[in-house]
Structure 1
Amino acid sequence: MSARLFPNWGRINTRATGANESYHSLQAEFEHRFQSGFQLDSAWTYAKALADNQGPSNTSFAGESGGGRATSILDRHADFGNVYGTRRHRWNTTMVYDLPFGRGRQFGTGISRLADSVVGGWRLATIFLWQSGPFESPYFPSGQGDPSGTGSGLNSSASGFDGGHRNQHPDRVAGVSARPQHQTKMDWVNAAAFTCPGYPAWQPGTACTTGSGSGPVPNPIGRFGNAQVGSVVGPGTVNLSAGLSKTFSITERLKLRAEGTFTNVLNHTNLSDPNMNISSPSFGLISSAISSDFGGARSGQVSMRLDF
């Protein structure tokens, strides 16, 4: 007996705006107002966001396609878990500092106006970001199997239904940590912590075909996999961006501003999301670096602007 609401129909795509989410956070901030040419603001946030609209293989904020699609209209809670984009820890610090060189400053207070026009009046501004990683969700792709028997995991190639993309949740192996003992970009997730639902003979890195209706595989087990959305923490981000600027007074009303700004000054490598497909031989592998949150490779620009 099928668990599908309308077993004689193909897939019925719907759009629903309902969702449940809770967000809680603890925030602390330290601020030093502009004094002696120095200003600092440092803020730390400890946050937890849980929602049921993340989808079974979210790699960004929830959307209407890909991993953001709901697993089932019958059980919204199947996609309940940590929100991908809400980091558990986020520390952001900004600083503005008028360098102490030049006339009237700590160093070089008696230098000539010509020398001051070169070494005096420079301002340094920085933004430092440190945050823990996004919450990742292990999955196996649509079209392999359908453990729930609802048709959620099947597509045109497997069942004759119209095409679609409903990745599925695996099972979490009890008592096994999802974090390897020695976590690296080559082995970010412990493959032994996740398994194909209802398929004791399944091997990591192979297709999860429970309930697919073809071959010597188990029949549907009447439920989705129990691995929770956002059960793996991805790589964090460390980034320091900085800018150096100076304004040259040509006349009383004519000024020239010179500025250089650089992102990821330290050129720190920030890793991207790991492969979360349990049926892939490269499950848990990180193969690239990120380009978001200004955490990509170091870049910079130099500019001059005439104000009048």
Structure 2
Amino acid sequence: MRKRFGDGVQAGLAYTFGKSIDDQSVDPVGATSGGALSSTNSRTPTDTRDWRQERGRSDFDRRHVLTLNSLWELPVGRQKRFASSIHPALNHVVGGWSLNGIYTFMSGEPFSVRSGVRTSNFSHESRADIIGAKPQVRLQEVPGVIGPVVFKDAGAFAIPAPGTNGAGRNTFEAPGYWNLDLGIGKRFELTERFNLQFRAEIFNALNHPNFDNPRDASSGSPSIRSTVFAQTCCQTVAPPTTQTIIQTGEAARVIQFALKMLW
């Protein structure tokens, strides 16, 4: 949905609701970003002879994706709604300002909790069994651990019995992602032909951290036998566009300035 530029305002909204199901998700980038297969990583099937057990949400599935963008030219200054007859010298101060922003929200990706043991065969790790009620995924602090964890400990999980593969694939959903980018612009009318444009652009304007799920965290693991089980450190970063289709934003607030001559 889009509002064309008019009366100094432009806005857009895009929303996607979807669900992707498969029996194996492989990052096309390969081992450089954790997408390759091995006997232990989370993308490797537990039993290649029984693919029905692998059917579940795709590793890259995000149920909700929302993007909002807007541009507002402030109605102040010469030939504007307010202060339209202001002196040209003062117009260089109060006129020509604009604000813009982009807000992005994505629900979390699914992940599996692994047992860390090869209970079904000698080739691949099985997934962990769930003891009792399914535990809730929630970012929480644990003393002595850098960054939040999605489970306080592995007490809700167990190693499956010999010959079994544990719980289903991708039964948990990691916390979602959101980010806000803002921009401030100022146009200086030097002459009828020449204009000078100044921009201040703020990425991750609220300095909000987004954390990976244990499967992809730089310091974390979905295996209940790992010393970094359920850890999500560290913040998501923006990989080069050659490595990913979806940019995940800046890890911390980034501010840049630009100056451009228009004629």
TM-score band w.r.t. shorter chain:
0.7 to 0.9
Q: Report how far residue 44 of structure 1 moved.
A: 2.8
2:145 maps to none
38 and 307 in structure 1: CA distance in 2 versus 1, 3 angstrom threshold? closer
Is residue 54–residue 61 contact of structure 1 (8 Å, CA) maintained in 2? no
Render the CA deviation track for 1:267-288: whole Å, top value 9, x for unaligned: 1122222331211244223332
Matching residue within 107, 119, 127 for 1:170: 127
Match in the other structure for 1:52: 23
Map 1:1-308 → 2, pairs under 5 A: 30-54=1-25, 63-66=35-38, 67=41, 68-141=43-116, 145-149=117-121, 151-153=122-124, 168-173=125-130, 175-179=132-136, 184-186=140-142, 187-189=149-151, 191-198=154-161, 220-221=162-163, 223=164, 225-274=165-214, 275-292=221-238, 293-308=248-263
Residues 13-59 of structure 1 show CA distances to partners (whole Å, capped at 9, x for unaligned) of: xxxxxxxxxxxxxxxxx43332311122223333211111227xxxx
Which AA in structure 2 matches 1:84? D
Find the structure with the greater CA-based Rg.
1
Q: Check 1:291–1:183 CA distance in 2 against 1; reply closer, same or farther (3 A cut).
A: closer
Q: Which residue of 2 aligns with 1:203?
A: none
Q: TM-score, normalised by structure 1?
A: 0.66
- TM-fit CA distance, 1:252: 4.2
Shift of 1:90: 2.0
CA contact (8 A) 1:249 1:255 kept: yes
Q: Provide structure 1 residue ranges, at least 5 long, that are not aligned to the other structure.
A: 1-29, 154-167, 199-219
Tell me by how many angstroms 1:174 deviates: 5.6
Letter in 1 for 2:113: P
Q: Give the deviation of 1:61 after TM superposition.
A: 9.0
TM-score by length of 2: 0.77
User: Aligned partners of 2:169, 2:34: CA distance in 1, in Å?
Assistant: 12
- Change in Cα spacing, 1:100 to 1:307, as seen in structure 2 (3 Å) is closer
Whether the 8 Å CA contact 1:86–1:134 is kept in 2: the answer is yes
Q: Is the 8 A contact 1:237 1:270 kept in 2?
A: yes
* 2:207 partner SS: coil
Q: Deviations over 1:135-172 (max 9, x none)?
A: 1221244xxx42222x313xxxxxxxxxxxxxx23233
- SS of the aligned residue for 1:34 comes to strand
CA distance in 2, matches of 1:136, 1:111: 60
2:20 alignment partner, SS class: strand
Indicate conservation of the 8 Å contact 1:41/1:94, yes or no: yes
State the alpha-carbon separation in 2 of the partners of residues 73 and 183 from structure 1.
33
**Structure-1 separation of matches of 2:200 and 2:78:** 23
Alpha-carbon contact 1:61-1:84 (below 8 Å) kept: no
Q: Which amino acid aligns with 1:188?
A: V
Identity %: 27
Q: Which residue of 2 aligns with 1:17?
A: none
How far 1:117 moved relative to its partner? 2.4
What count of residue pairs does the alignment treat as equivalent? 235
Q: Distance in 2 between matches of 1:245 and 1:108?
A: 19
CA RMSD in angstroms comes to 2.9
CA gap 1:69/1:173 in 2 versus in 1, 3 angstroms: closer
Distance 1:63 1:285 in 2: 19
SS of residue paired to 2:18 = strand
Amino acid at match of 1:32: K
TM-aligned CA deviation for residue 112 of structure 1:
1.2
